[in-house]
C-alpha cells in the first residue's frame, strides 16, 4: 500500500469555517473515511466503523512566519505524507486546511490508494464544493449507502464466473510471473519502489483528429504507444501490462471510493510488427478486456501476482469550484512508486497529461523524449516496422585513428555512414589520430622500440632486483636472442614463453617480435593438463621455460637461451613485421571447459598505445611497474605502455606481489609514477598507505580487470588528491586488445556505487544491443558491443566460437562482450555485470562452465554447478554444489584432482554436497534455494586450542562460512593472498609477535599457524642480518613450493 496525497491551491476570499463544515459533512457521510485495515489468521480485512468521527484540521499561518516560508512548510508536509508508509491504525487518512492569507489557502488530503483514486478524489472535491456553495450537508448515496449497521468487516473473496476465469487462464498460460524481470528492483521499507516522476502536456488538437480518423479511443492510442515504447526499452518480446480498468457503473460514476481493478494484459510485440497493426490488435484486446474486469490473483496461486508495468487512463473533467475562488490542483513529488514503471494519462479539456512513475532502471533514459518521438512516428509513419523506427541517439563523434592503425577507410563510421553502420548509436571520444599514413607500411612494435633505443640509448629501460638495463642494453640483448632464436626455433611460428617476470623475459619477448614470430605467454604455475592442451593446440611450438624442457618438446630453458645468444652480434635485424602479423597469442578461460587463444596483431596493440597517447601524457620520465603475470594481458599494457614511451619498467618479483608492505616500499623506493592494479590488490595498498608515512608519488593509478566500486577510493583520495594523482577506471576484454574505454574519476564519483567505465578510446566504438538484436536506446541496459582498431580476428582454431562472438563486416569487426551496460545521460558507459555465467576472480576471467566441466571429468560428481557470491567490495567466492555419484563425495580428493586441471583461482572455495538440484517453477536452477545449502552445511572441527579456535573464527569471517577444518590448507579453502594480508593484520592487532605474510605461506593451515604463534609467545626482535637471512630463506622456500606445486607440462611430459 502507498499514500496518495492531493494538494489543492484555493485563491480568493475563502470562507474557511464554511469550508470546514462542508468537509466535515462530506467526510461524515463517506464510508472510506471510517475505514482501516487489519489481519486475522492470515486474512486481510477492511473494517468500517460508522461511529468514527475524524474532524478536519485548520492551520493558520503563525505570527512571525512569512507567507513564502509557510508555503514551503505546506509543500514539505505534502511531500512527507506522499512518501511515507500508510498509517497502521485509524484514522489512516488526514485532511487539513492551511490558511496563508485572506486570499490564499491550501487544501491537503492524504489517504491510502486502497481507499481513493484520482477519480474518487475529483468526485470528493465536487461533493465538497457543492456542499460549500449550497450550504447543505451531503447525503449518502451509491457505493456509500450502507446497510445501517454501525460496524462491518469484510475480506476480499473470489467471485469470478467461469468465463472470466477461463479468459485470464488463457492470458497467463505458460507464465511464471507477471513481472518484467529485467526491471524488477527491491522495495524499500515503505513497500514502495524508489524512483522519480516525469509529467508533460500534449495538446489534444494534435491527437484527437488522428484518433477520429483511425476510429481509436484515446486510451487505446496511449496504451499502444506505451507498449511499443517499453518494447524498445525492455529486452523482452512478451510483456505483461497491468491495465487499470475503471470498474465503475453509471450509478457509481461519481462515488467517492477506489473502484479500479488492475488486470493483466499479455502482449507479444515482435520487432517486425508495425504500429498500425499493433494498435489494431491492442484495440481488439482492450475491447474484450472490459467484459472481464473482475480479475482475482487468488484464482492463480502459482503465479506471482505483482505486475511491474502499469497503465491508467482517466478523464479529469469534474465540476468543482468554490464560490468566488479559483481552485488549482498541484502536483506532489513522489519517490516511493507503486511499480517499476507506470503511465497515467489524464485527459483534460485541452490537453492530455501523461505522468510516468519511473524506477531506477529508467534513471538514464529520457522517457519523455522517447515517448514524444515514438508517438510522432506512430502518427506519421504507422506502417513502418518497429525495428525501423529510429528513436533518439546518444552519439559523440569527433574523429578516429589513422587508417593504417584502424585498418579501414577514413570516415567509415562518420555520421553520414550511419545507415550502413552496425550500430544503433556509437560513442567515440572524438580524438584525432596521428602517425602512420601508409596502409601497407610495416607496423612493428620492435621497430618502435629500436627507434626509442637509438634516441635515448642510456636511459634506464628495465629494472629488476636493483639491477638495470638501459634501452641500448635491452635492445642489444634482444637482438642477440633474436638471432639465436632464428637458428634454434626454425619454422616454428609460435614461441611459448613460460617464465617468471625478469629482464631476460622482456628481452626474449622483444626478440620474438623482431624475427616476425608470435609469443605465447604461459604461466609457469598452470596445471599440467592445461599446459598440455595449449601445447597440443599450438602444434609443436618452440618452448622457452624456467625449467628443463622434456626431450619430446622443442625448446630450451631461459638460461640456455641467454648463454647461447651471447655469441651473436647485437645489431638490429633486417627482418620486419606487417601490421596484421600476430604479436602475441594469449589464452583465456573457455566455456567449453578448455582455454581459448586470442591472437593480437601489431596493429591491434599499436592502435591501443596511440589511442592512449591522446588521453594521457605518458613520457620518458615515468616509472611503471610490471606487477602482473606475463600470461595476464594487463602485463602487456604495463610493459609496452612503458617501453613505447621511453619510461622505466620496474619488475615486481612474485614474492613482493604477495606482500603489500614490500610492494609499498618498492613503489616508494623506485618513485613509481604509473601504477596498474586490479581493485582487489589496490585495496591492500590503500590500507598500507594509511599505516605508513611513505612518499608515494604516482601521477596515474589505472584500475581494471574487475568492476570498480568508487567508494573504496575515498581514503586514498584524502592523502592523494585527484588533482595530483589521477585515477582511471579501465574496461576492455582480451578480444579487443586489453582495454576499450577509460574513465577519469572526479571527486563527485566517490559518493556513488555504480561502476562507470567511461567512453571509448580513439579508434574504438561501442553500441548497446538488446538480446533479440534490437538496437538499444540511450539509458537502456543491453549487451556492450565493441568495434574498432583493437578488435582481434577471433579465437585461435575456434571457428564456431569466433562466429558466435565476433561480427565481421566490410567496415571492420565487432566483438560481443557478453557484458551488460548502458549509456548514461553524460555520455559515459555504466558497467552492469555479465549476461552469461562468466565472472572475474582476482582479475582473471573465469567461465563457470569450465569449472563444471572439470568437476564432471574428475569423476567425483555426476552433476555440478557453481555459484558466485559477493562478500563485499570486489570480493568474489566460488561455490560448487555437487550431486555425488556412486563413488560418493570426498572433498579433499576432489580438490587434489582439480589442482591438476585448473588454476588455483578457478578452484571453488566451498564444496557443498547436495541430494537434489532445486529448480524454479519455470524449470530453471534455483540459485537462491541453493544458497541455503551453504548455511545448512555442518561445520567441521573448530580447533583444539584457544589459538586455533581464535584463528578459526578469523578465517571464517573472511570466507563468510565455517565449513572447513583446521588441517585444511588456507589457500585451498578459498583464502586469496589479499585475505591472508587481512588475516596477518588482524593477528598483529592482538598478538605481540611480528608475524609476516610469508610466514602464513610457511604454515598454511590453522593448526600449523596456531602452533607457530604459540611458540612465539615472547616477542624477540632479531638483528637485521638474522631477519634478512630468514626472509631470504622464506623467499626461496616459497619459490620452491610454488614451482613444485605448478608441475607444468612445459618442463615435463609425465
What is the distance in angstroms between the CA of the first residue and the CA of the last residue of the chain? 68
Helix (H, G, I), strand (E, B) or coil at 364: coil
Please say if the pLDDT value at position 935 is more than 90: no
pLDDT of residue 251: 56
pLDDT of residue 851: 78
pLDDT of residue 926: 63
**Separation of alpha carbons 256 and 116, rounded Å:** 7
| 322 contact partners, CB below 8 Å, separation of at least 6 | 10, 12, 14, 19, 129, 132, 133
pLDDT of residue 426: 45
**Separation of alpha carbons 933 and 909, rounded Å:** 15
**Separation of alpha carbons 234 and 776, rounded Å:** 9
Report the mean per-residue pLDDT for the chain: 79
Please say if the pLDDT value at position 563 is more than 50: yes
Question: Cα dist. 529→901, 1047, 1050, 1053 in Å?
Answer: 5, 10, 10, 10
pTM: 0.70
Please say if the pLDDT value at position 75 is more than 70: yes
Percent of the chain clearing pLDDT 70 (strictly above): 78
pLDDT tens-place string over residues 486-506: 999 888 999 999 999 999 999
**Separation of alpha carbons 740 and 790, rounded Å:** 8
Residue 885 pLDDT class (50, 70, 90 cuts): low
The 10 Å Cβ neighbour count of residue 719 is 12
Please say if the pLDDT value at position 235 is more than 70: yes
Do 371 and 378 touch, CB atoms closer than 8 A? no
Helix (H, G, I), strand (E, B) or coil at 604: helix
- Pairing of β 104-112 and β 3-12: antiparallel
pLDDT tens-place string over residues 315-327: 765 567 899 899 8
Nearest to 38 by CA among 154, 139, 125: 154
Nearest to 842 by CA among 596, 628, 522, 599: 628
pLDDT of residue 378: 85
**Separation of alpha carbons 211 and 229, rounded Å:** 19
pLDDT tens-place string over residues 263-280: 888 998 887 888 888 888
Percent of the chain clearing pLDDT 90 (strictly above): 30
The DSSP line for 978-1008 is: HHHHHHHHHHHHH-SS---HHHHHHS-BHHH
Question: Cα dist. 377→203, 374, 380, 775 in Å?
Answer: 17, 5, 5, 17
Q: Once rounded to an integer, what is the mean pLDDT over residues 793-805? A: 91
| 442 contact partners, CB below 8 Å, separation of at least 6 | 576, 577, 578, 579
pLDDT of residue 478: 95
pLDDT tens-place string over residues 170-227: 887 777 778 887 788 776 656 677 888 899 999 999 899 988 988 888 999 999 999 9
Please say if the pLDDT value at position 156 is more than 60: no
Nearest to 419 by CA among 380, 382, 386, 393: 393
Please say if the pLDDT value at position 1034 is more than 50: no
Please say if the pLDDT value at position 284 is more than 70: yes
Q: Which residue has the higher pLDDT, 769 or 630?
A: 630
Most confident of the following: 758-762, 879-883, 900-904, 994-998: 758-762
pLDDT of residue 895: 81
Please say if the pLDDT value at position 55 is more than 50: yes
Cell triple for 480: 642477440
**Separation of alpha carbons 535 and 552, rounded Å:** 12
Cell triple for 840: 572475474
pLDDT of residue 354: 94
Cell triple for 470: 638501459
pLDDT tens-place string over residues 513-534: 999 899 999 988 888 888 888 9
pLDDT of residue 820: 87
Please say if the pLDDT value at position 290 is more than 70: yes
Sketch out the chain's domains with CATH numbers: 3-154 (3.30.559.10), 162-388 (3.30.559.30), 458-834 (3.40.50.12780), 837-937 (3.30.300.30)
Please say if the pLDDT value at position 862 is more than 50: no
Please say if the pLDDT value at position 922 is more than 80: no
Amino acid at each position: 500500500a502507498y499514500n496518495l496525497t492531493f494538494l489543492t491551491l484555493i485563491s480568493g476570499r475563502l470562507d474557511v469555517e464554511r469550508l470546514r463544515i462542508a468537509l466535515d459533512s462530506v467526510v461524515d457521510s463517506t464510508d472510506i473515511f471510517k475505514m482501516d485495515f487489519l489481519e486475522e489468521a492470515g486474512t486481510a480485512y477492511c473494517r468500517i466503523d460508522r461511529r468514527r468521527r475524524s474532524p478536519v484540521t485548520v492551520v493558520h499561518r503563525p505570527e512571525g512566519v512569512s507567507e513564502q516560508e509557510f508555503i514551503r512548510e505546506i509543500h514539505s508536509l505534502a511531500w512527507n505524507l506522499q512518501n511515507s508508509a500508510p498509517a497502521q491504525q485509524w484514522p489512516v487518512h488526514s485532511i487539513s486546511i492551511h490558511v496563508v492569507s485572506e486570499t490564499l489557502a491550501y487544501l491537503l488530503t492524504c489517504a491510502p490508494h486502497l481507499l481513493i483514486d484520482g477519480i474518487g478524489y475529483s468526485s470528493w472535491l465536487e461533493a465538497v464544493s457543492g456542499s460549500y456553495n449550497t450550504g447543505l450537508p451531503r447525503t449518502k448515496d451509491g457505493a456509500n449507502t450502507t446497510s445501517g449497521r454501525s460496524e462491518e468487516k469484510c475480506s476480499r473473496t473470489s467471485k469470478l464466473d467461469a468465463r472470466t476465469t477461463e479468459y485470464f487462464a488463457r492470458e497467463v498460460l505458460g507464465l511464471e510471473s507477471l513481472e518484467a524481470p529485467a526491471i524488477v528492483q527491491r522495495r524499500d521499507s515503505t513497500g514502495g519502489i524508489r524512483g522519480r516522476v516525469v509529467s508533460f502536456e500534449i495538446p489534444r488538437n494534435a491527437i484527437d483528429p488522428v484518433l477520429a480518423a483511425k476510429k481509436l479511443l484515446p486510451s487505446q492510442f496511449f496504451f499502444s504507444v506505451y507498449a511499443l515504447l517499453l518494447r524498445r526499452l525492455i529486452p523482452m518480446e512478451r510483456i505483461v501490462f497491468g491495465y487499470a480498468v475503471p470498474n465503475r457503473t453509471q450509478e457509481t460514476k461519481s462515488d467517492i471510493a477506489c473502484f479500479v481493478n488492475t488486470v493483466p494484459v499479455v502482449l507479444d510485440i515482435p520487432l517486425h510488427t508495425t504500429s498500425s497493426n499493433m494498435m489494431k490488435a491492442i484495440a481488439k484486446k482492450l475491447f474484450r478486456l472490459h467484459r472481464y474486469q473482475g480479475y482475482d490473483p487468488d484464482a492463480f496461486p502459482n503465479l506471482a501476482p505483482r505486475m511491474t508495468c502499469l497503465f491508467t487512463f482517466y478523464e479529469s473533467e469534474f465540476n468543482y469550484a468554490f464560490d468566488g475562488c479559483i481552485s488549482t490542483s498541484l502536483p506532489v513529488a513522489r519517490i516511493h512508486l507503486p511499480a517499476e514503471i507506470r503511465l497515467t494519462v489524464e485527459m483534460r479539456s485541452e490537453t492530455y497529461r501523461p505522468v510516468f512513475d519511473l524506477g531506477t532502471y529508467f534513471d538514464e533514459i529520457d522517457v519523455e523524449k522517447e515517448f514524444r518521438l515514438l508517438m510522432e512516428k506512430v502518427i506519421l509513419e504507422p506502417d513502418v516496422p518497429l525495428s525501423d523506427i529510429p528513436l533518439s541517439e546518444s552519439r559523440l563523434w569527433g574523429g578516429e585513428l589513422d587508417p593504417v592503425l584502424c585498418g579501414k577507410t577514413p570516415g567509415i563510421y562518420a555520421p553520414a555512414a550511419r545507415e550502413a553502420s552496425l550500430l544503433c548509436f556509437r560513442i567515440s571520444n572524438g580524438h584525432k589520430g596521428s602517425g602512420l599514413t601508409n596502409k601497407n607500411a610495416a607496423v612493428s612494435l620492435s621497430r618502435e622500440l629500436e627507434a626509442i633505443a637509438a634516441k635515448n640509448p642510456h636511459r634506464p629501460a628495465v629494472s629488476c632486483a636493483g639491477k638495470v638495463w638501459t634501452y641500448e642494453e635491452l635492445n642489444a640483448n634482444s637482438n642477440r636472442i633474436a638471432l639465436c632464436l632464428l637458428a634454434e626455433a626454425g619454422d616454428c611460428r609460435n614461441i611459448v614463453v613460460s617464465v617468471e617476470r625478469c629482464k631476460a623475459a622482456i628481452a626474449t619477448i622483444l626478440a620474438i617480435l623482431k624475427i616476425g614470430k608470435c609469443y605465447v605467454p604461459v604461466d609457469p604455475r598452470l596445471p599440467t593438463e592445461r599446459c598440455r592442451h595449449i601445447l597440443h593446440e599450438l602444434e609443436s611450438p618452440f618452448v622457452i621455460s624456467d625449467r628443463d624442457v622434456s626431450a619430446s618438446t622443442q625448446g630450451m630453458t631461459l638460461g640456455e637461451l641467454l648463454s647461447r645468444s651471447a655469441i651473436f652480434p647485437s645489431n638490429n635485424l633486417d627482418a620486419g613485421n606487417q601490421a596484421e602479423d600476430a604479436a602475441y597469442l594469449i589464452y583465456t578461460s573457455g566455456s567449453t571447459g578448455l582455454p581459448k587463444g586470442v591472437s593480437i596483431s601489431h596493429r591491434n596493440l599499436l592502435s591501443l598505445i596511440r589511442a592512449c597517447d591522446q588521453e594521457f601524457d605518458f613520457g620518458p620520465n615515468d616509472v611503471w611497474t610490471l606487477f602482473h603475470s606475463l600470461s595476464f594481458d594487463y602485463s602487456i599494457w604495463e610493459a609496452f605502455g612503458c617501453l613505447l614511451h621511453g619510461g622505466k619498467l620496474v619488475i615486481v618479483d612474485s614474492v613482493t606481489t604477495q606482500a603489500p608492505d614490500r610492494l609499498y616500499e618498492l613503489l616508494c623506493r623506485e618513485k613509481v609514477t604509473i601504477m596498474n592494479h586490479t581493485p582487489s590488490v589496490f585495496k591492500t595498498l590503500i590500507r598500507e598507505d594509511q599505516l605508513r608515512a611513505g612518499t608515494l608519488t604516482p601521477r596515474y593509478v589505472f584500475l581494471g580487470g574487475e568492476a570498480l566500486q568508487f567508494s573504496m577510493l575515498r581514503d586514498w583520495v584524502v592523502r592523494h588528491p585527484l588533482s595530483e594523482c589521477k585515477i582511471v577506471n579501465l574496461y576492455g576484454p582480451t578480444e579487443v586488445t586489453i582495454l576499450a574505454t577509460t574513465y577519469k574519476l572526479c571527486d563527485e564519483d566517490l559518493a556513488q556505487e555504480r561502476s562507470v567505465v567511461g567512453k571509448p578510446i580513439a579508434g574504438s566504438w561501442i553500441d548497446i544491443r538488446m538480446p533479440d538484436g534490437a538496437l538499444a536506446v540511450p539509458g537502456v541496459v543491453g549487451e556492450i558491443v565493441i568495434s574498432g582498431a583493437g578488435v582481434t580476428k577471433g579465437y585461435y582454431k575456434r571457428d564456431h566460437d569466433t562466429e558466435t562472438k565476433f561480427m565481421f563486416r566490410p567496415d571492420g569487426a565487432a566483438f560481443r562482450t557478453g557484458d551488460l551496460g548502458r549509456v548514461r545521460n553524460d555520455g559515459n558507459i555504466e558497467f552492469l555485470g555479465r549476461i552469461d555465467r562468466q565472472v572475474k576472480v582476482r582479475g582473471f576471467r573465469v567461465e563457470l562452465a569450465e569449472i563444471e566441466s572439470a568437476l564432471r571429468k574428475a569423476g567425483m560428481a555426476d552433476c555440478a554447478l557453481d555459484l558466485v557470491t559477493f562478500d563485499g567490495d570486489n570480493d568474489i567466492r566460488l561455490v560448487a554444489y555437487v550431486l555425488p555419484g556412486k563413488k560418493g563425495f570426498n572433498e579433499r580428493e576432489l580438490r587434489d584432482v582439480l589442482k591438476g586441471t585448473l588454476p588455483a583461482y578457478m578452484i571453488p572455495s566451498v564444496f557443498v554436497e547436495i541430494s537434489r538440484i532445486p529448480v524454479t517453477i519455470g524449470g530453471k536452477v534455483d540459485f537462491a534455494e541453493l544458497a541455503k545449502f551453504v548455511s545448512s552445511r555442518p561445520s567441521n572441527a573448530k580447533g583444539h586450542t584457544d589459538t586455533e579456535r581464535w584463528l578459526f573464527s578469523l578465517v571464517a569471517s573472511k570466507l563468510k562460512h565455517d565449513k572447513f577444518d583446521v588441517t585444511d590448507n588456507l589457500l585451498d579453502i578459498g583464502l586469496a593472498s589479499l585475505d591472508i594480508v587481512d588475516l596477518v593484520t588482524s593477528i598483529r592487532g592482538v598478538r605481540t609477535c611480528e608475524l609476516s605474510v610469508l610466514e602464513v605461506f610457511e604454515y598454511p593451515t590453522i593448526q600449523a599457524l596456531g602452533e607457530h604463534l604459540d611458540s612465539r609467545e615472547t616477542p624477540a626482535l632479531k638483528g637485521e642480518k638474522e631477519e634478512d637471512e630468514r626472509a631470504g630463506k622464506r623467499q626461496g622456500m616459497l619459490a620452491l613450493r610454488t614451482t613444485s606445486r605448478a608441475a607444468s607440462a612445459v618442463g615435463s611430459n609425465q
